[in-house]
Amino acid sequence: MRNFENIYIDGAWVPSEGSGSIEVINAATEQVMGSIPDGVASDVDRAVSAARGAFDAWSQTPVEERQKYLVRLNEALQARSAEIAETIAGEVGMPITWSTMIQAGLPAGNMATFATLLDSFEFEEEIGNSLVVKEPVGVVGAITPWNYPLHQIICKVGGALAAGCTIVLKPSEIAPLNAFILAEIIHEVGLPAGVFNLVSGNGPTVGAAISAHPGIDMVSFTGSSRAGKQVAASAADSIKRVALELGGKSANIVLDDADFAAVIPKGVFACFLNSGQTCTAHTRMLVPNSRYDEAVEIAAAAVAATQVDDPTKEGMHLGPLISQAQWDRVQAYIQKGIDEGAVVAAGGLGKPEGNETGYFVKPTVFANVTNDMTIAQEEIFGPVLSIIGYDDDDDAVRIANDSLYGLSGGVWSADQDRAMSVARRMRTGAVDVNGGSFNIAAPFGGYKQSGYGRENGPYGIEEFLQTKSMQR
């Protein structure tokens, strides 16, 4: 049990000016595992004032000095890796084996990458008689989600710190404890006061105050498309820069020459990781009509072999969803799929046998799905896979692009060149070709209603910079 009674502003733990608190619920036990302050708008005012006061000095800090802080933060994240993994396994429900690798491992890896990139990142260049310099955008408001909570925080905080910005962070109130651990780490490594500030609370209060605040120069938001639209609209009054990483409904195209027995189970995994609570989840599997029944049979068998169990146990199983609200949402989508004529090939409604306590769901595969169905168009955020048939490569690309979203996707083929040709035609920010692994130094972001802006690697530093030209 971790009960945090204070927020972090100007290098100190201070009480919120609000009087409430928010309980954090363990996804597997449905019991309270901690609490945080329920912050208010005046807390944001104090945090912004601190960030503005620290900006001039921090933005002028030599790159080498900023790099030293990032290195120390990486080391401290690694030192507390087990605690972070255990905390997020409870908050989110990702099993501890995965949580150690992903929820704790990726944030430390990202921080290390940002530090290394500062060895070679070019903050200025000569163009004719102009010196073009890249300067920090200013005070950054970061609003982050619950599904990969610390990873998404570090994508913003690491890039902003490397760029020379100061930060006001609002983590998700559903999975916030890891953010407080980060604030403890930042305090321990001695980051200058005001450079990083943490205000906890709900989106309509603290998130809205950050988005609209005239003292914030940029807001970087990861979350739902609905909330992202509100952030962008609120930020428009002060013409602040906005970066949005929103929803996805990614298509995984399995071409007719692929080894179905090998790649279909991998496609199921690409949908089900973190119990489907992944914005890049490959939730639409597109297969040739000529091999449709074969694909459904293999997918159903893969689901039958998928275990759902306690996230505190080691192993590659699936854990619960994060909350009762998310459980209800996923059940409603499964029912909607049935109502609209899709066929449950595996899984279905209700909880898996033996998992009555906790927000567990049955991993589900739908067959006979057409791309106009609700389950093929809307982001479910649960382990629900829709298998859709296509006629030829052109038809597969058409179906893949027939979506409001464009965040991720996949292509499988025995012919790498053919797979790359199809990948180039997909209107999406990232494509995994024949199972290409996630690259933390590559740009991450979406097309269409999946948002705009890019995180990770040099693009994740560039995102927090302004460009100035000085003519001589």
**What's the CA gap between 423 and 368, in Å, rounded?**
25
Strands, sheet with 139-143, edge to edge from the N-terminal-most edge strand: 12-14, 7-9, 196-198, 166-170, 139-143, 218-222, 241-245, 451-452
Q: Which amino acid is at 433?
A: V
Q: With H, G, I as helix, E, B as strand and everything else as coil, classify residue 132.
A: strand
How many C-beta atoms lie closer than 10 Å to residue 148's C-beta?
Answer: 24
**What's the CA gap between 185 and 161, in Å, rounded?**
15
118 CB-near residues (< 8 Å, 6+ apart): 63, 64, 66, 67, 70, 162, 461
Which residues are part of the catalytic machinery? 245, 279
Question: Cα torsion for 366, 371, 376, 377, to the nearest 10°?
Answer: -170
**What's the CA gap between 467 and 271, in Å, rounded?**
39
Helix (H), strand (E), coil (C) string for 431-467: CEECCCCCCCCCCECCEECCEECCECHHHHHHCCEEE
Output phi, psi for 467, to 5 deg. Answer: -110, 130
**What's the CA gap between 26 and 23, in Å, rounded?**
10
Picking from 185, 217, 148, 199, the residue whose alpha carbon sits closest to that of residue 9 is: 199
**What's the CA gap between 470 and 126, in Å, rounded?**
10
> CA 198 → CA 13, 93, 203, distances in Å?
9, 24, 14
| Angle formed at CA 412 by CA 415 and CA 370, multiple of 5 degrees | 130
Structure tokens at 89: 């396994």
Helix (H), strand (E), coil (C) string for 60-114: CCCHHHHHHHHHHHHHHHHHCHHHHHHHHHHHHCCCHHHHHHHHHHHHHHHHHHH
- Strand-pairing partners, residue 8, are 13, 198
**What's the CA gap between 451 and 430, in Å, rounded?**
13
229 CB-near residues (< 8 Å, 6+ apart): none
